[in-house]
Structure 1
Amino acid sequence: MISLIVSFHELGHFSVARLFKTRVERFSVGFGKILLRKRDKNGVEWCLSALPLGGYVKFAGDENITSMMPSPEEMEASRIAITEREGAAAVKDYYHFKPLWQKFLIILAGPAFNFILAIGILTIVFWVMGDSYVPARIMRVVPDSPAAAAGFLPGDMILSVDGRDVRSREDARLMIVLRADTATRFDIDRSGKHLTLTATPRRVALEPGGPNPNATGGQLGIDMNGPEVEVPLNPLQALVAGNAQTWKALDTNLTYISRIFTGKENGNQIGGIVGMTKAAGDVTVAYSQVKAPLWQIAYNLFFTYLQYMAYISIGVGFLNLLPIPALDGGHLAFILWQGVTKKTISAGFQNAAFRIAIVLVLGLMLFAFWNDINNIGLTKFIGGLFS
């Protein structure tokens, strides 16, 4: 999944680069030792490499693996070398000599393709499987809960949470989980009347005794276990639904990250490769234990994997848009800065920013890894061996 997602991300860079007639040396699926290679008529070397955890695009003349902006002296030296080797007309084919707006779009295309991939996958899922959901209608209010204190009643239909539209039980539940210990506005429909209530979800363990006992979130104290609604969708409706689901997932990421920076969450739900692998394994085991024909299990598992792939792609796109120099968002920030100030960013500043970025990215990876092994109970298990 990761190789497919990252390769599609790199295909975004490659496609827009070729649209602007940018010369590309190599497109590799995977990293490390090249196992297979083939050069096309445009001089692009297509490769399959040994480590299947992503891929990369190498632009012609881009000798720096970080793709940092060269200094004016380096640009002039490169211009002279290209002119002597290929003629003055060839200079415009190289990435670093492209207009800033073209470089901006080339870099932006990577994350954009991640969102396009997610929308495409979710569109297929909605088209084939339709849309099924439980309406966000309250069936029961738990006594002495935040919902009871706020005045919620059975029969209330939740219309929006914190200004965000709600249609299903899952929509409402996710927004409540992300607003623990935070006074939150709820717009509801009560027998045809529009009311606004304010409640503060109580922070609780979301999976006590479950696979992720450390995860906490908001709980309102309501039961929305009503009948499920199933709606078949045509291709256009499926596209609309896939697009809405993609941006809803992106909004969820933004909300959670913003709550971390404001001190409202501790970030223990940020996960990495270990957590993603375990989640995929848990899903597979759960489906394998269902008493159903093998074809039906495989069918449901395939579409579950597709949805999982879509959400990982959204995460990859979101992560790459962060303004960190080692990521696409950092390159975009540098290009915007150069466009506004009309000044080239010094090599010293770029090197310093890149080193800081590496520390930040490695720190985030270690934090996610720690969360993963902690959430699956490995740290508790190891601690028990020495207690």
Structure 2
Amino acid sequence: MEILIKASQFILSLSLLIVLHELGHFIPAKLFKTRVEKFYLFFDYKFSLFKKKIGETVYGIGWIPLGGYVKISGMIDESMDTEQMALPPKPWEFRSKPAWQRLIIMLGGVFVNFVLGVFIYICLMWAYGERYLPNENVKDGIWVENELAENLGLQTGDKILTVDGQKVKKFNGLSLEFINGNKYEIERNGQVLEQQIPEDFISQLMDRGKDAGAFLYPRLPFVISNVSENSPNINADLKKRDIVTAINGKVIKYFDEAQTELNKNKNKDITITIKRGNETKEIPVKVTEEGKLGVALGQLPYTDLEKLGYYELADIEYSFTEAIPAGLKKSWKTLTDYMKQLKKIFNPSTGAYKGLGGFISIGSIFPAEWSAQSFWEITAFLSIMLGFMNLLPIPALDGGHVVFTLWEMITGKKPGDKFLEYAQVVGFVLLIALLLFANGNDIFRLFK
């Protein structure tokens, strides 16, 4: 059922984005009296799931869910209709239109993607506002409990100040900042230190596996999730969501402080103080030779940590007029972050190519339960990503056509039809190779 819910959201989001993108080409084509022969959601190689001709255009749904297209008369595109291109140009064909009209038609899909992404983000800011843990409110620093964070040179208690000279606003955005960044500043024991982010950091992050969890956490309380069956404290009065607040009378605020005290009392009987709801209890327990209590560590949501006085969250509401600049800012950050990641993907030494994913990766980012907020947040991100990808100067993409049209407008020389055909084939081969690599990564990770 979980897979079905994720897949349904992915197909719905993808279908919406494809239809609107192609509509961005369709509308200016019609305005400039250019014939549109087909308008398709998904590809229809050999046959269609549905098709209906209205006027001069066939509207349909293909069976290969890899995208969609509009077939515009007199244009070298994925249909590779060389027979039509061998005939003399007709007034209604794309190739007969002025270069500026062709440029607008080709940019229409990208324009719609960017406008849609911005519009969704504005609406999300207006409807839900923002709720997050400000990085500046993590006053006692971070908790370092994994090798990756240690390899970065981080220590428990460090306060992360900037990444690439930019102040970090949201704590839950730190992972992305480190992925995109090259250096960072921390405050440690009153001193400000600058550290380099290893070039292969993304590779190390990917090698941890998708179930490894975040590599950075704020310092957290010692919350008990459950007591293991072989624990020496199996019969102790310990329950789920108990919070350890003291060990042998010494006040404990964070788990790392508790672990330090437990290491001092290996193989000893001690007394811990726990907070259970509004009740406080002292419970005798046994510490193992490894400095453990034999319990699983639990984690409370930030809202509960705020109620307990650990962290203060930012809760921002926007009027519609206030949501406009907030949505624009969110859109710009989404775009620039994606550009930074793409740059690292093309640098083999970063190992970022390991994170390149296809349909499984994209589908997996949707939640297992329906959430309108999550659905539209992901759709906005995908819309901006799709707009940028289509602007890349690859012949089979809109960006390739834009480059050739701009060349014609600047030089006054139009590329020949044969050149455009060959360029389309090369671009298509590149896209297929990228598609196979990305989805191959997905399959490899599944088996791994």
Please report the TM-score for the alignment, with normalisation by the length of structure 1. Answer: 0.72
- The alpha carbon displacement at 1:164 in A equals 4.5
Unaligned 5+ runs, structure 2 = 1-12, 145-149, 221-301, 303-310
In the other structure, the counterpart of 1:353 is 423
In the other structure, the counterpart of 1:328 is 398
**Which deviations, in whole Å up to 9, do the C-alpha atoms of 1:188-238 show, x marking residues without a partner?**
9x99xxx9853223537547775366x9x9x68976984321111111222
With over 3 angstroms needed to count, the CA separation of the structure-2 counterparts of 1:27 and 1:117, relative to structure 1, is same
Structure 2 residue 130 is the aligned partner of structure 1 residue 117:
no
Aligned residue among 7, 13, 20 for 1:8: 20
In the other structure, the counterpart of 2:88 is 78
**Which deviations, in whole Å up to 9, do the C-alpha atoms of 1:77-131 show, x marking residues without a partner?**
524xx4xxxxxxxx2x432122212211211121121121112222222221111
| Structure 1 residue identity aligned to 2:52 | R
Aligned residue among 161, 165, 170 for 2:172: 170
In the other structure, the counterpart of 2:141 is 140
- The alpha carbon displacement at 1:372 in A equals 1.0
With over 3 angstroms needed to count, the CA separation of the structure-2 counterparts of 1:165 and 1:22, relative to structure 1, is farther
**Which deviations, in whole Å up to 9, do the C-alpha atoms of 1:17-70 show, x marking residues without a partner?**
23334333332334322624252xxx35352324273432222344x4438899
Q: Tell me if the contact between 1:68 and 1:350 (Cα under 8 Å) persists in the aligned partners.
A: no
Q: Tell me if the contact between 1:322 and 1:329 (Cα under 8 Å) persists in the aligned partners.
A: yes
Structure 2 residue 56 is the aligned partner of structure 1 residue 56:
no
- The alpha carbon displacement at 1:347 in A equals 3.6
In the other structure, the counterpart of 1:94 is 93
Report sequence identity in percent: 29
Structure 2 residue 339 is the aligned partner of structure 1 residue 254:
yes
| Structure 2 residue identity aligned to 1:37 | K
Q: Tell me if the contact between 2:163 and 2:177 (Cα under 8 Å) persists in the aligned partners.
A: yes
Q: Tell me if the contact between 1:134 and 1:229 (Cα under 8 Å) persists in the aligned partners.
A: yes
Aligned residue among 367, 384, 388 for 1:318: 388
Q: Tell me if the contact between 1:36 and 1:49 (Cα under 8 Å) persists in the aligned partners.
A: yes
With over 3 angstroms needed to count, the CA separation of the structure-2 counterparts of 1:209 and 1:185, relative to structure 1, is closer
In the other structure, the counterpart of 2:373 is 303
In the other structure, the counterpart of 1:198 is 194
Cα distance in 2 for residues equivalent to 1:35 and 1:272: 26
Q: Tell me if the contact between 2:113 and 2:384 (Cα under 8 Å) persists in the aligned partners.
A: yes
- Equivalences for 1:269-280 in 2 at 5 Å? 269-280=355-366
- The alpha carbon displacement at 1:332 in A equals 0.9
Q: Tell me if the contact between 2:118 and 2:328 (Cα under 8 Å) persists in the aligned partners.
A: yes
Structure 2 residue 443 is the aligned partner of structure 1 residue 373:
yes
Please report the TM-score for the alignment, with normalisation by the length of structure 2. Answer: 0.63
Cα distance in 1 for residues equivalent to 2:112 and 2:413: 30
- The alpha carbon displacement at 1:12 in A equals 0.8
Q: Secondary structure at the match of 2:413?
A: coil
Aligned residue among 3, 15, 35 for 2:50: 35
With over 3 angstroms needed to count, the CA separation of the structure-2 counterparts of 1:324 and 1:164, relative to structure 1, is farther
In the other structure, the counterpart of 1:108 is 107
With over 3 angstroms needed to count, the CA separation of the structure-2 counterparts of 1:249 and 1:44, relative to structure 1, is farther
- The alpha carbon displacement at 1:374 in A equals 2.3
Cα distance in 1 for residues equivalent to 2:364 and 2:142: 34
Cα distance in 2 for residues equivalent to 1:5 and 1:120: 13
Q: Tell me if the contact between 1:147 and 1:220 (Cα under 8 Å) persists in the aligned partners.
A: no
Q: Which has the higher helix share?
A: 1
Structure 1 vs Structure 2 CA RMSD: 3.7
Q: Secondary structure at the match of 2:52?
A: strand
With over 3 angstroms needed to count, the CA separation of the structure-2 counterparts of 1:187 and 1:46, relative to structure 1, is farther
Cα distance in 2 for residues equivalent to 1:209 and 1:186: 24
With over 3 angstroms needed to count, the CA separation of the structure-2 counterparts of 1:15 and 1:347, relative to structure 1, is closer
Deviates more, 1:360-369 or 1:336-345: 336-345
Cα distance in 2 for residues equivalent to 1:56 and 1:148: 49
Cα distance in 2 for residues equivalent to 1:264 and 1:321: 25
With over 3 angstroms needed to count, the CA separation of the structure-2 counterparts of 1:24 and 1:146, relative to structure 1, is closer
- The alpha carbon displacement at 1:153 in A equals 7.3
| Structure 1 residue identity aligned to 2:68 | G
Q: Tell me if the contact between 1:185 and 1:196 (Cα under 8 Å) persists in the aligned partners.
A: no
Cα distance in 1 for residues equivalent to 2:398 and 2:433: 18
Q: Tell me if the contact between 1:142 and 1:222 (Cα under 8 Å) persists in the aligned partners.
A: yes
Aligned residue among 13, 19, 22 for 2:34: 22
**Which deviations, in whole Å up to 9, do the C-alpha atoms of 1:328-387 show, x marking residues without a partner?**
1111111122222222223443333333222211111111112212223x2x3xxxxxxx
Q: Tell me if the contact between 1:60 and 1:95 (Cα under 8 Å) persists in the aligned partners.
A: yes
With over 3 angstroms needed to count, the CA separation of the structure-2 counterparts of 1:134 and 1:360, relative to structure 1, is same
Cα distance in 2 for residues equivalent to 1:342 and 1:212: 56
**Which deviations, in whole Å up to 9, do the C-alpha atoms of 1:292-351 show, x marking residues without a partner?**
xxxxxx5xx122112122222222212111111111111111112222222222344333
With over 3 angstroms needed to count, the CA separation of the structure-2 counterparts of 1:157 and 1:234, relative to structure 1, is farther
- The alpha carbon displacement at 1:265 in A equals 2.0
Cα distance in 1 for residues equivalent to 2:23 and 2:402: 18
Aligned residues: 331
Unaligned 5+ runs, structure 1 = 83-90, 288-297, 381-387
- The alpha carbon displacement at 1:166 in A equals 3.6
| Structure 1 residue identity aligned to 2:355 | Q
Q: Secondary structure at the match of 1:78?
A: coil
In the other structure, the counterpart of 1:88 is none
In the other structure, the counterpart of 1:234 is 319
